[in-house]
Structures are given as structure tokens and as C-alpha cells.
Structure 1
């Protein structure tokens, strides 16, 4: 009986060893638990008294495919809509550009909508694996330069932002730990507040109050100032009405883009650890940038923050009136 027990024990050890061997090393990042949603985003403009209206431009973002999301069956409804691709590949948009007889007269409206099915996955990372690795950036690459530059709303060259980044860097040069300290800094020094016009990373740092878009902007700016490629994500929660949200990502060579959501990490303290390096499967990444530029002669070539969409109009020379209203609407639900 004793020999049989030893033999059984040995078999268990062998089986566990084989299981570990076949399992392989732990994965740094995984995309799991896909969930399907249906999303519709609309912009509607009503002309109340402008006559005549010379032109009207409506713009909406179109989500791209990433490792954590797939986009299917995109349907666009509007007057002569056409797609636009950012010059640097940062995002996609659809535009309806109305002139002459196509513009709405007083009392009329024009709308543009985008609907699609989206498959969203959770992002899960192994913190120990990420923290143990060594990372080397190709600082001469176009990607590195793109995602470490200063730009509108992400003022990575601001002296005060650089000073904070230098302070973080004096404690660690490891990209993962730098990003973690930047994430903690934003949470510890920012209080959630309603959206305010004219915000950005600089004002978020100075005022210490921001909504999700500027939490993300400050995190990205700190990472970029410290030499860590990072980008904001403008999107929405996948269920509900007008449930807008922003978060961020930083790049680790050999791993890819790692998520960070300092807003939820701050407003839900019990989830602070989770939302550095991990992400739920209940959100839509609309555009992973805050500034877009297009090659087009039909409407504006440069668009700013494009989360909900944007619009422009011009009254004809000698025309009258000035009242035009806009309504943005987004709705998402689980797909059956």
C-alpha cells in the first residue's frame, strides 16, 4: 500500500509538471471574454432662422478595429456621406457636407448617423510579468515620435508637466513603473468635476479638477514628458444613452498598448489596482486621439476633440439670423 501511495504521488507530480510545461510561460497581456453590442451615434442640426445658410458640415467618428474590439456591419445614413482617414492614421470619421439646395432652410433639420455591431473584449495583464521585463524603445521610429510629442490638449512640453515627469523619472526609469507612478499621481492630485470648456492636461494639473477626458490627457502628457509613448482614448460605455467616457494607453515594446483608466481608478477606489493595466469589456473606443487632420477640400481639414462628433456652419453673405441648434445622441445595448 505504501509503494502504491508513493507511485500515485509521483504520477500527480509528473502530471502537474506536464500541465505547467504545456501551459507555457505566463502571458503579459490577454484579450478575453468577448461581448457583443449594438451602437448608434447621431448628430442632428436644426436651422431655426438662418437664411440663407451657405454650408453645413456634420462629422461623426467611426470606431476602428483594435485587438480588444471588432467592428461589424457599419451603416451610415445622411446626405452624401463620405469617409475621412486621419493623415497619420489616428482615426476615422464620416462627414456630410451640405451646400446650395442641400442645406436646411429655417425650420428644417439635417442629421447624420452611424450604427454598427461591436465585439468588445476584456484586457487582462500580468503585472509581475510586465514589471520584470526590460524595455527598449526605438526613439528614432515614427511611432515613438508620434506618441511622445506635445500637442493641443496634451501639453507634454509644459514646464510644470515636465517638472512632475522629471520627479517621477528620478525615482524610476522603468517604463511600466513610470506609467504606474504617473497613474497614481493623476489620481492623487485630481478631483472629478463636470466638463469645462478649454480644458487639457495643463489646466488639469494646475486646477486639480477635471472630467475623464482631462484625467486621461494629464496621464498621457506625463508619460510623454517622461519618454513613454502614450495616447488618449475617446469613447463611450457600450450600454446606455450618451454614456461618454475617456481613458488612456501606454506602449510597452514587445507587449503592445496597455490600458489605464485613472478616472475610474479615482472615483471607484476599490478598482484602482484593476484599472491600471486591465480594462472591462463594456466600452467602445471611438478614436484613440484628441486631434485629427484630413486631406479634404470639402469642409474643415482639422478637427479637434471628436468624441461626440462636431459640426460647422456658415451663413451666406448678406444673410440674416443666427440661431442653429445641435443635438448629439449615442445609444448602446447588448446585442441579441
Structure 2
């Protein structure tokens, strides 16, 4: 694969702290140091951060919220759980704190194996604005998807996404038994910061406000 190393000025937006990607927060900086302090190679730093966010921040679809503060990286780190967008925000913050340019990506996906309880509530198998990342390594933007932790993957018999710093790491199309699992439907592009308002608007337009409230209530009742 050809690489074109971008000028540092072009990468600046992907290293900056924002309200959501608060890579300058003391907790984020401390966690990044702990994860990468003994490592020298940037690629290995990115891999260590990816594995931490994938596995130690447990995937919880009921962590959805319409409150901006629930999407700040330091809050997600403290809670130790999140859904795809929240985990992507945290990965971006930790990578930026370690000096690794990282940005967000959004896509619409179809999950052909949505758990029954969630499918009943959502009334669809389409997940709008699925959040994941792109990490800049060796002159290339590589996709990284830290959404599903390995414990959940073992339980559901799906392969965890592995990021090695050499190639894109996205969902497998099929689960271990050969059944169709994740289908990418639409790419929204890449973002230097979380487009919070646009995401909430998209959710309201496609899921409806009643379902959104059910989603929030489910999280408050069973997952805090």
C-alpha cells in the first residue's frame, strides 16, 4: 500500500483536545502514560491503547445518552463502559494524549444478530452513526474498531476485532458459525471531533423520540 506522509499542520486537528476528546484531562493523560510508558514504537502504543479500550471498557449498548457530558472521554474512562461512539471517543483521546493522530468515523451498519431484547426495543437491525476510529501510523490512516470487548465476543461466538497497526481493523462480515453478522451500509466520513448534534438528530429522525427515551430508561433502570 502506498503511503503519503501528511505535513504536521494537516495532522494538528487530530491531536488537539476538544470538549469530547479531552486528551488534556489529567485522567486521560495518566491512563495514556500507564498504557504506553514502557513502549517505544508508536505502532505498539496504538495497539496497547486499542486493546485497553476494546476489552477494559466493556461494550454496553444501554450506555446511550443525550447528555453531552456522557460523551466526554474522561467520563467514559471513569465509568468503564460505553457503546460504540463513546468507546471511539475514548480511544481518540488516549491516542492523542500519547501523541498519535486519531480521528472519528461514523457509518450506518446492519447487525444481523442483534440481541432479542435490543431488537425488540429498536424495531430495526440498523445501527445509525456507528462510531469507530482512524489512527495515523506510518503515513497511513488505519481503521480501528474497539466496539465489542473480547468477553462479549466469546459469549456470542464472534471474532474480536484485532488491530495490529498494519492494516484496517473493522467488523467481520460473518460470525464464527458462518452466519451473516455485520454489514456496512453507509459511510458518513471522518471527523476531528464528535458531531454530537448531528448524531442525536440522526437518531431522532431514524429511531424516533419514543424509542430514544426507552433506550435511556433501559440504561437508567438496569445498567448503572
Asked if TM exceeds 0.5, the reply is yes
Does structure 2 retain, via aligned residues, the 8 Å contact 1:264–1:271?
A: no
Number of corresponding residues: 170
Indicate the SS of the match to 2:28.
Answer: helix
Greater C-alpha radius of gyration: 1
- Counterpart residue number, 1:177: 44
Shift in alpha-carbon separation, 1:307–1:184, aligned structure 2, 3 A: same
Offset, 1:304 = 3.4
The alignment's C-alpha RMSD in Å is 3.0
Indicate the SS of the match to 2:29.
Answer: helix
- Counterpart residue number, 1:309: 201
Indicate the SS of the match to 2:198.
Answer: coil
Shift in alpha-carbon separation, 1:290–1:308, aligned structure 2, 3 A: farther
The alignment's TM-score, normalised by the length of structure 2, stands at: 0.65
Shift in alpha-carbon separation, 1:238–1:272, aligned structure 2, 3 A: closer
Quick one: which of 7, 11, 22 aligns to 1:144? 11
The structure that is strand-richer by fraction is 1
Indicate the SS of the match to 1:243.
Answer: strand
Offset, 1:191 = 1.8
Inter-partner Cα distance in structure 2 for 1:179 and 1:305: 29
Match status 1:227 vs 2:99: yes
- Counterpart residue number, 1:63: none
Match status 1:263 vs 2:144: no
Indicate the SS of the match to 1:271.
Answer: coil
Shift in alpha-carbon separation, 1:291–1:165, aligned structure 2, 3 A: closer
Does structure 1 retain, via aligned residues, the 8 Å contact 2:13–2:192?
A: no
- Counterpart residue number, 1:246: 131
Offset, 1:153 = 1.1
The structure that is helix-richer by fraction is 2
Cα deviations across residues 179-218 of structure 1 (Å, max 9, x unaligned)? Answer: 1100111123212221123312111101112111111111
- How do residues 75-114 of structure 1 correspond to structure 2 at under 5 angstroms? none
Does structure 1 retain, via aligned residues, the 8 Å contact 2:55–2:149?
A: no
Does structure 1 retain, via aligned residues, the 8 Å contact 2:161–2:170?
A: no
Match status 1:206 vs 2:78: yes
Q: Can you give the 5+ residue segments of structure 2 that lack an aligned partner in the other structure?
A: 112-123, 174-182, 208-224
- How do residues 46-85 of structure 1 correspond to structure 2 at under 5 angstroms? none
The alignment's TM-score, normalised by the length of structure 1, stands at: 0.45
Offset, 1:273 = 4.6
Match status 1:189 vs 2:61: no
Inter-partner Cα distance in structure 2 for 1:152 and 1:178: 24
Offset, 1:328 = 1.2
Inter-partner Cα distance in structure 2 for 1:328 and 1:167: 41
Shift in alpha-carbon separation, 1:166–1:137, aligned structure 2, 3 A: farther
Q: Can you give the 5+ residue segments of structure 1 that lack an aligned partner in the other structure?
A: 1-26, 30-135, 293-302, 311-325, 331-336
